Structure 1
Amino acid sequence: MDEVEIADEAVAANEVMPPPSRSTRSQAEVDGSPIKTPRPDVTIGISHDAVVQILHHTQDLDRTRGRDFLNDLQQKTIYRENRRQREPVLCSEPTQRALQIRFPFLVIEGKSYATGKHIFDAENQAAVSGACALKIQYDLDDLAQRASQSSHCQETTPLSFSICTQGPFHELWAHYAIVEDNVRKFHMVPVKTCRAPILDEVLQWLMCVDNVIKWGAGEFLEGVVERLGKVARRAGGGL
């Protein structure tokens, strides 16, 4: 398997979210919502330092202002009419702050035979995490559109990915959204599956995963930084 190389210093991976706080649990209990705060086993995204460094080199935003700008976007809130609640302007770092992983684009959910869980349990959890990752991209798109003040601003097609595993079975999924009757609906579709004992299947699957990570450290990162640059220029490097 020497053909497959999965590594890039711009990419960071770790657990995506801390356990929900007591206040979060209490609110969920009050709302009666069956959907929990996503907590994937592993999250892969762009390292905070990589975003700051590329903002510095491509958008002429010095490192200190770049860090402050990203933190301001996350710490300051706005009221979203469609959700009737205040939210961060852009929550690009949905992980524990110490991990410093921004703009997640790939999550991993694994289940074990020993726990009695099935792979569709992992798929259901990945569906929520994938939708959350897409929401971050849509929020960034909205900010960039507002900053450009142009209806001709090039639109992007937000994508995120997930890996679901159980025993020898491994699945790679793509997450996307479509708008129907002014309602955004999130979907996921299988890209590649494999069974661990079959070497050829595993190799092809790993090559697909490698392509996703290269996309995340390449085209995806470039698009994120370009849109952040528009927002930063509009805000003068701050909010």
Structure 2
Amino acid sequence: MKRSRSRSPEPLRPKRPKIVDGTTGLTIEALFEHDRCLQPLSPYAFLDMNSQHKSPSLADVPIIPPPSTRSSQRSRSSSPSRVNDAQYRVNHLRRANIFIDDDNTTSDVWTYVEKIIGNVEFDSHLDRVSDKLWIKSKELVQKPSGEAEWTEMLHMLIDELKDQKLDIVRNRDWCEELKPPVHNPPPTIPRKRRENQTNLATHEATFESSSIGVSTSPRYNSQSVAFPLFRLKTPRPDICIGLSDKSLEADLVPKKGRNAARSFLVDLQDTANLISDPHVTPVGLRFPFLIVEAKAGATGGNLYQAQNQAAVGGSAALQILQNLRDLRENQDLGQTRSVSDIPHLVFSITTEGPIHEIWFHFRRPDEDDFYMSCIGSWRTTLKYDSQNLVRHLQAILQWGNGDFRSDVLCVLQTL
């Protein structure tokens, strides 16, 4: 006998609906009759039905078409998170009352500056130094030299010209407290909207405290009170020149004694009464009067950037002198004493490769404005310009170790 093969049961086929006799046929007349008797649905009813029977999924997220290439490029270039150099000068510096190349420089300030820079005669020593600068500059322009190479050249030049009572420091962060204050606009919230937010926050805090049993402070929507915040960059000069701590200590010994003179400026700095060393980590350089901000076109830097940085650094150096003046006024206790002997003038050098500019920064004692004006510009690949730059630089260094030191020391001895 042949064994019958077991077959797997075949899947059940769906039953076809039976056509019932007497059903109205699908005719044009029947469709017209159906449309006439059917009540129209409102569009909201369809949305309600769709939301009830539709499960949430990624397909429900609306697809936003990508922006065009031109608009996307425009939005990236105008990103508010990055401020360009022009915006920084117009917005940030002006809100800190720092003005570059402003015409408000009066004749008396210019007269004093011209007296400083015209007080040096070109001798054989300056001639040798200027030749080194000229030769080195021509060597650097033949290569894609960066900021480090140009800064090193200028550092060697200043170190050869300065007196031992002056100190020179490179690439050190300054204290943020010395930056001029920046005016920021207040939050612009309509009065009615602010009251509604306050009432809502108070209601939420009351509900939470009653339900949890813990007192909570009102919560405000931080996004509703957001406003532009303007901040100055903290100075970090490529080169900084000031008075040596050891030399000031020696000058104060005859008036205050050795022990008191040794700790005098240190105590004032540690108690935050007078920050005379601007660096975050004190390095023994007091009362800076000349800073250098170097850039190189070969690496993307320019004079505009160097000027912005020098403007903040020069204003911070002026702030140190203003703090010294305020400290003496507070100790005078209302006594009549002239404070015109405190200088309110410092200098800066901005560079872009072989191009060197010298600026002076000044501030009037009873005003909050800081001004930065250019004395001149020289290209050190030209021999005559190298000689002129060295002569101006030597004049500023002599003033810093002469009249500037004497004026600062005169005030320190009265404290």
Q: Same fold (TM over 0.5)?
A: yes
- In the alignment, which residue of structure 1 is the partner of 2:164? 9
Q: TM-score, normalised by structure 1?
A: 0.79
User: What secondary structure sits across from 2:236 in the alignment?
Assistant: coil
Alignment of 1:98-109 (within 5 A): 99-109=283-293
Gap regions ≥5 residues in structure 2: 1-122, 127-159, 177-227
1:175 aligns with 2:361: yes
The code of the aligned residue for 1:206 comes to V
Q: How many residues align structurally?
A: 208
Alignment of 1:157-236 (within 5 A): 157-178=343-364, 183-231=367-415
Q: Is the 8 A contact 1:46 1:221 kept in 2?
A: yes
CA gap of 1:45–1:154, structure 2 versus 1, over 3 A, is same
Q: How far did residue 54 of structure 1 move?
A: 0.6
- In the alignment, which residue of structure 1 is the partner of 2:218? none
Alignment of 1:32-51 (within 5 A): 32-51=229-248
Alignment of 1:97-176 (within 5 A): 97=281, 99-149=283-333, 150-155=335-340, 156-176=342-362
- In the alignment, which residue of structure 2 is the partner of 1:56? 253
Equivalent of residue 263 in structure 2, options 44, 61, 68: 68
Summarize deviations over 1:106-150 as a string: whole Å, max 9, x none. 000000113211111001100000000000001111222333443
Q: Is the 8 A contact 1:93 1:101 kept in 2?
A: yes
Q: How far did residue 46 of structure 1 move?
A: 0.6
Summarize deviations over 1:91-120 as a string: whole Å, max 9, x none. 000125452101000000000113211111
Q: Which has the larger Rg?
A: 2
The code of the aligned residue for 1:65 comes to A
- In the alignment, which residue of structure 1 is the partner of 2:74? none
Q: How far did residue 20 of structure 1 move?
A: 7.9
More helix per residue: 2
Summarize deviations over 1:41-83 as a string: whole Å, max 9, x none. 01000110011001113xx22232112221111111xxxxxxx
Give the ranges of 4+ consecutive aligned residues of structure 1 lying more than 4 Å apart after TM superposition. none
1:18 aligns with 2:203: no
User: What secondary structure sits across from 2:301 in the alignment?
Assistant: coil
Q: How far did residue 34 of structure 1 move?
A: 3.4
Q: How far did residue 197 of structure 1 move?
A: 1.9
Q: How far did residue 157 of structure 1 move?
A: 3.8
Identity over the aligned pairs, expressed in percent?
31
Q: Is the 8 A contact 1:119 1:165 kept in 2?
A: yes
Summarize deviations over 1:205-228 as a string: whole Å, max 9, x none. 211111111111111111111101
Q: Is the 8 A contact 1:147 1:230 kept in 2?
A: no
CA gap of 1:206–1:52, structure 2 versus 1, over 3 A, is same
Q: How far did residue 19 of structure 1 move?
A: 7.8
Q: Is the 8 A contact 1:192 1:208 kept in 2?
A: no
The code of the aligned residue for 2:336 comes to S
CA distance in 2, matches of 1:124, 1:206: 24
CA gap of 1:16–1:220, structure 2 versus 1, over 3 A, is farther
Q: What CA RMSD, in Å, does the superposition of the two structures yield over aligned residues?
A: 2.3
Summarize deviations over 1:17-48 as a string: whole Å, max 9, x none. 33889xxxxxxxxx944311100001000110
